[in-house]
């Protein structure tokens, strides 16, 4: 069973995969990257090999190496290293999930297969179950991003009864603008204590109002400190200050 001791919450940086000018992964800077997130941005959780990290554009070997480097360099510095292991192939997802467990990752995330798509909730649940079974000691998070996958199964529908079929399921990264769906995830599943992590950085404050327990995003790589200030303002019920932080962050251009 997945450990119930640590709940993934707060800010989670969706990490960039650093490359050399020749298109090779620049592993040498990941240690510095960890220190920058912790010391400069106040972010101690990472989501590796996701959309921002271009995981699905990397080879399986590269994804394994990147995961290993983040786990190694983050040891005793980061709170949680979550590895995205989703792939079009079930066997590849299982291989990556097993590897994540072997190297000591804190959790795995899985995107829906998006070429031959799951037709319904049952298909998607079965896919997640098969991946989770290869890493039974790790929490599993579903990565919901229908704008890229084209998989329109509502997150709230998926959550209904999922822990009975996938015991290691612990929550989701919700990267969609459908706040009604997200709100229903919160309202109907709050007693299960799922990690409900919002993934649209520009709408984070709205998601906090709906009940988000944390957030996964690319902007927390360089706006983590400012976003933490927004979280603090929200916690002390200073919504005016929280709104000012959100508006300012929306106006900031993303690095090219």
DSSP letter for each residue of 185-198: HHHHHGGGT-EEEE
Residues placed in the known binding site for pyruvate: 52, 216
Out of 3.40.50.10800, 3.20.20.70, 3.40.720.10, 1.10.600.10, the CATH code matching 10-221 is 3.20.20.70
To the query of whether residue 173 is one of the catalytic residues in this protein, the response is: yes
Residue 64: alpha-carbon gap to chain centroid: 17
The one catalytic residue among 33, 142, 143, 220 = 143
Element (H, E) at 25: none
Which stretches of the chain are assigned E, i.e. beta strand? 10-14, 45-48, 80-84, 107-111, 140-144, 169-174, 195-198, 214-217
Rounded average pLDDT per 10-residue block, the chain, 256 residues = 68 97 95 98 98 96 98 97 97 98 98 94 97 98 96 95 96 96 91 91 94 96 95 93 83 60
Q: Where are the domains of the chain?
A: 10-221
Structural contact between residues 38 and 131, judged by C-beta atoms closer than 8 angstroms: no
Structural contact between residues 221 and 13, judged by C-beta atoms closer than 8 angstroms: yes
Residue pLDDT, tens place only, 28-49:
999 999 999 999 999 999 999 9
Q: Model pTM?
A: 0.93
Region for residue 84 given its phi and psi (left: phi exceeds 0; alpha: psi -120 to 50; beta: otherwise): beta
Residues placed in the known binding site: 52, 216
To the query of whether residue 143 is one of the catalytic residues in this protein, the response is: yes
3-state secondary structure of 214: strand
The one catalytic residue among 44, 73, 141, 173 = 173
């Amino acid at each position: 069973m997945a450990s119930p001791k640590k709940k993934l919450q707060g800010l989670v940086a969706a990490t960039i995969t650093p490359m050399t000018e020749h298109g090779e992964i620049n592993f040498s800077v990941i240690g510095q990257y960890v220190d920058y997130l912790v010391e400069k941005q106040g972010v101690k959780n990472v989501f590796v090999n996701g959309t921002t990290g271009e995981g699905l554009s990397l080879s399986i070997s590269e994804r394994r190496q990147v995961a290993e480097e983040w786990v190694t360099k983050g040891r005793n510095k980061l709170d949680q290293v979550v590895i995205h292991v989703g792939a079009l192939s079930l066997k590849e997802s299982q291989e990556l999930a097993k590897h994540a467990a072997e190297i000591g990752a804190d959790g795995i995330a899985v995107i829906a297969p998006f070429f031959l798509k799951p037709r319904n909730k049952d298909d998607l649940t079965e896919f997640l179950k098969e991946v989770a079974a290869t890493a039974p000691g790790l929490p599993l998070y579903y990565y919901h991003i229908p704008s890229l996958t084209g998989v329109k199964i509502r997150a709230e529908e998926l959550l209904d009864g999922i822990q009975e079929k996938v015991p290691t399921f612990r929550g989701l990264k919700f990267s969609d603008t459908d706040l009604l769906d997200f709100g229903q995830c919160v309202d109907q599943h709050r007693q299960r204590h799922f990690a409900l992590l919002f993934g649209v950085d520009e709408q984070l404050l709205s998601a906090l109002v709906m009940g988000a327990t944390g957030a996964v995003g690319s902007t927390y790589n360089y706006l983590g400190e400012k976003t933490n200030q927004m979280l603090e303002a929200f916690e002390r019920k200073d919504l005016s200050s929280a709104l000012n932080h959100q508006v300012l962050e929306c106006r900031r251009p993303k690095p090219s």
